[in-house]
Amino acid sequence: MLAENKHLPNEESPLSGAQGRGGREAREGSNARDTQDAHVAIRNVITQAGEIILGKEAQIRMAIACILARGHLLIEDVPGVGKTTLSHVIASLLGLQYQRIQFTSDLLPADIVGVSIFDRESSTFRFHSGPIFSQVILADEINRASPKAQSALLEAMEEHQVTADGKTMSLPEPFFVIATQNPSHQIGTFPLPESQLDRFLMRISLGYPDQSAERALLKGEDRRAMVARVKPAMSVTQLVSLQQEVTGVHVSDALIDYVQALVNHTRDSAHFEMGLSPRAGLALLRAAQAWALLSGRKLVLPEDVQTVAPAVVGHRLRAVSGKGSTSKSIDPAQDLIQSVPIP
Q: What is the pLDDT of residues 231-265, one digit of tens each?
A: 999 999 999 999 999 999 999 999 999 999 999 99
pLDDT band at 343 (very low <50, low <70, confident <90, very high): confident
- How confident is the model over 138-152, as a mean pLDDT? 87
Does pLDDT of 118 surpass 90? no
Question: In the predicted model, what is the mean pLDDT of the chain?
Answer: 86
- pTM value is 0.84
> What is the rounded distance in angstroms from the CA atom of residue 58 to the CA atom of residue 65?
11
Tens of pLDDT, residues 182-237: 876 565 677 788 888 889 999 999 999 999 999 999 998 888 889 889 999 999 99
Tens of pLDDT, residues 47-102: 999 999 999 999 999 999 999 999 999 999 888 888 889 999 999 999 999 999 99
- How confident is the model over 167-188, as a mean pLDDT? 83
Q: What is the pLDDT of residue 187?
A: 59
Does pLDDT of 1 surpass 50? no
Domains of the chain: 36-244 (3.40.50.300), 247-343 (1.10.8.80)
- Tell me the CA end-to-end span of the chain in Å, nearest whole number: 78
The Cβ of residue 161 has, within 10 Å, a number of other Cβ atoms equal to: 12
Q: What is the pLDDT of residue 327?
A: 44
Does pLDDT of 179 surpass 90? yes
Is 5 exposed, middle or buried (CB count within 10 Å of its CB: 0-12, 13-18, 19+)? exposed
Q: What is the pLDDT of residue 164?
A: 81
> What is the rounded distance in angstroms from the CA atom of residue 107 to the CA atom of residue 152?
11
Q: What is the pLDDT of residue 329?
A: 47
User: Which residue, among 319, 326, 294, 307, has the nearest Cα to 69 in the 3D structure?
Assistant: 294
User: Which residue, among 102, 44, 64, has the nearest Cα to 311 in the 3D structure?
Assistant: 64
Q: What is the pLDDT of residue 280?
A: 94
> What is the rounded distance in angstroms from the CA atom of residue 297 to the CA atom of residue 306?
16
> What is the rounded distance in angstroms from the CA atom of residue 208 to the CA atom of residue 213?
10
Tens of pLDDT, residues 18-61: 566 666 655 555 567 778 889 999 999 999 999 999 999 999 99
Does pLDDT of 328 surpass 50? no
Sequence-distant (≥ 6) Cβ neighbours of residue 192 within 8 angstroms: 142, 143, 150, 181
Residue that wins the pLDDT comparison between 16 and 102 = 102
> What is the rounded distance in angstroms from the CA atom of residue 54 to the CA atom of residue 44?
15
Q: What is the pLDDT of residue 186?
A: 60
Residue that wins the pLDDT comparison between 133 and 121 = 133
pLDDT band at 325 (very low <50, low <70, confident <90, very high): very low
- Cis check for the bond before 9: say yes or no (omega within 30 of 0): no
**265: phi > 0 → left, psi -120 to 50 → alpha, else beta; which?**
alpha
The Cβ of residue 39 has, within 10 Å, a number of other Cβ atoms equal to: 17
Is 223 exposed, middle or buried (CB count within 10 Å of its CB: 0-12, 13-18, 19+)? middle
Residues paired with 126 in a beta bridge: 117
Sequence-distant (≥ 6) Cβ neighbours of residue 97 within 8 angstroms: 91, 134, 135, 136, 172
Phi and psi of 203, rounded to 5°?
Answer: -130, 130
